């Protein structure tokens, strides 16, 4: 999926938000929804990184406190022609990683303690290169705004259902039927759009991350370990905040599904297969290419 399709999906999500506002409160409701959408997007643009990092209790590290991770990220950022991002460690046994920030100049990458303990140097390079690919493509901003709008549509749906069915809103153009439509269809459609954007970005970040570190099989090997580790080890913070699941390199939640409309990440075996084919195309073979 290219940037044009992603932009269309984001526009569609904003349209859903406005439509939900109209169904709940007519023209006035749509105007209020527009104001809320703009306000949420502004807040997400300026504060998403701090909110997410605080949510997971991430601590910033430097070359002295975490020389292995910090030095590796510095080298990979240079390979990608990116400014050096802030580097964080999350005290969590589940092997995983994520990136956040509104643009490459204000980016942060985070790795869990479980990731640092389980992966080799080569595998860790593949994972952090993947996260830097998200930074390079500005995926973190796209996904934060998407998650914010999707969550807001769900909030509007609950609001509309309460006031629509109770008869407390005379501006609802369809009455109780409009409230029911918003409650059922809007969150469902928002979830489809949000997850479609997320899955496409993961494939693109895998390919770009492989180019940044130079070895697709490093990332392929890491993904296999991360999928197994995430299945065995829970992530309480992610379970409490499922709207952030798409930020991680592999799904941190234990309620997983097939590679379909309702999963935030592509199936790991599909991602590994693509990376292996990429390695073959580059003439690389063996466990490390």
What average pLDDT does this structure show over 121-138?
96
The DSSP code for 264 is: S
What distance in Å separates the CA atoms of residue 81 and residue 136, rounded to the nearest whole number? Answer: 9
Give me the pLDDT at residue 159, please: 67
What distance in Å separates the CA atoms of residue 136 and residue 205, rounded to the nearest whole number? Answer: 9
Chain centroid to CA 207: 17
What distance in Å separates the CA atoms of residue 246 and residue 253, rounded to the nearest whole number? Answer: 10
Please report where in the chains the tokens 């409701």 appear, as a residue.
29
From the number of C-beta atoms within 10 Å of its C-beta (0-12, 13-18, 19+), residue 78 rates as exposed
If you average pLDDT over every residue of the chain, what do you get?
Answer: 83
Give the ranges where the chain is alpha helix by DSSP (H). 3-55, 67-79, 113-118, 121-136, 139-166, 176-213, 216-232, 236-240, 268-281
Confidence of residue 258 (pLDDT cuts 50, 70, 90): very low
The DSSP code for 248 is: B
pTM (2 decimals)? Answer: 0.82
Catalytic residue at 131? yes
What average pLDDT does this structure show over 228-252?
89
143 to 53, 60, 110, 156: CA distances (angstroms): 15, 22, 16, 20
Give me the pLDDT at residue 153, please: 73
Give me the pLDDT at residue 165, please: 43
Q: Which of the following is catalytic: 123, 131, 202, 208? A: 131
Confidence of residue 243 (pLDDT cuts 50, 70, 90): confident
Q: Residue 172 in 3-state DSSP?
A: coil
Tens digits of per-residue pLDDT, 151-177? 677 777 666 555 544 444 555 555 566
What distance in Å separates the CA atoms of residue 236 and residue 151, rounded to the nearest whole number? Answer: 20
Give me the pLDDT at residue 63, please: 96
94 to 187, 246, 254: CA distances (angstroms): 29, 15, 11
Please report where in the chains the tokens 């409009």 appear, as a residue.
178
Domain boundaries, the chain: 3-281
Is a pLDDT exceeding 50 seen at residue 190? yes
Are 199 and 266 spatial neighbours (Cβ–Cβ below 8 Å)?
yes
Give me the pLDDT at residue 1, please: 47
What distance in Å separates the CA atoms of residue 13 and residue 196, rounded to the nearest whole number? Answer: 12
What average pLDDT does this structure show over 138-159?
73
Give me the pLDDT at residue 47, please: 82
Are 243 and 147 spatial neighbours (Cβ–Cβ below 8 Å)?
yes
Tens digits of per-residue pLDDT, 50-93? 988 999 999 999 999 999 999 999 999 999 999 999 999 999 99
Tens digits of per-residue pLDDT, 192-225? 766 767 778 899 999 999 999 999 999 999 999 9
């Amino acid at each position: 999926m290219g940037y044009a399709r992603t932009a269309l999906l984001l526009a569609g999500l904003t349209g859903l938000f406005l439509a939900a506002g109209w169904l709940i409160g007519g023209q006035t409701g749509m105007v209020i929804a527009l104001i809320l959408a703009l306000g949420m997007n502004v807040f997400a643009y300026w504060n998403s990184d701090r909110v997410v990092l605080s949510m997971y209790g991430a601590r910033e590290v430097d070359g002295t406190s975490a020389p292995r991770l910090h030095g590796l990220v510095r080298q990979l950022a240079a390979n990608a022609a990116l400014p050096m991002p802030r580097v964080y460690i999350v005290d969590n046994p589940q092997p995983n990683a994520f990136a956040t920030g509104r643009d490459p100049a204000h980016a942060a990458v985070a790795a869990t303690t479980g990731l640092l303990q389980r992966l080799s140097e080569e595998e860790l390079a593949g994972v952090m290169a993947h996260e830097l690919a998200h930074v390079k493509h500005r995926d973190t901003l796209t996904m934060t705004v998407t998650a914010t709008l999707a969550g807001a549509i769900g909030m509007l749906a609950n609001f509309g259902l309460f006031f629509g069915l109770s008869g407390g809103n005379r501006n609802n153009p369809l009455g109780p039927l409009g409230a029911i439509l918003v409650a059922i269809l809007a969150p469902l459609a928002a979830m489809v759009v949000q997850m479609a954007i997320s899955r496409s970005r993961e494939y693109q970040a895998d390919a770009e991350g492989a180019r940044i570190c130079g070895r697709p099989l490093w990332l392929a090997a890491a993904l296999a370990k991360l999928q197994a580790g995430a299945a065995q080890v829970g992530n309480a913070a992610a379970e409490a905040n499922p709207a952030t699941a798409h930020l991680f390199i592999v799904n941190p939640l234990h309620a997983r599904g097939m590679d379909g409309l309702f999963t935030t990440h592509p199936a790991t075996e599909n991602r590994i297969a693509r990376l292996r084919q990429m390695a073959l195309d580059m003439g690389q073979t063996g466990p490390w290419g």
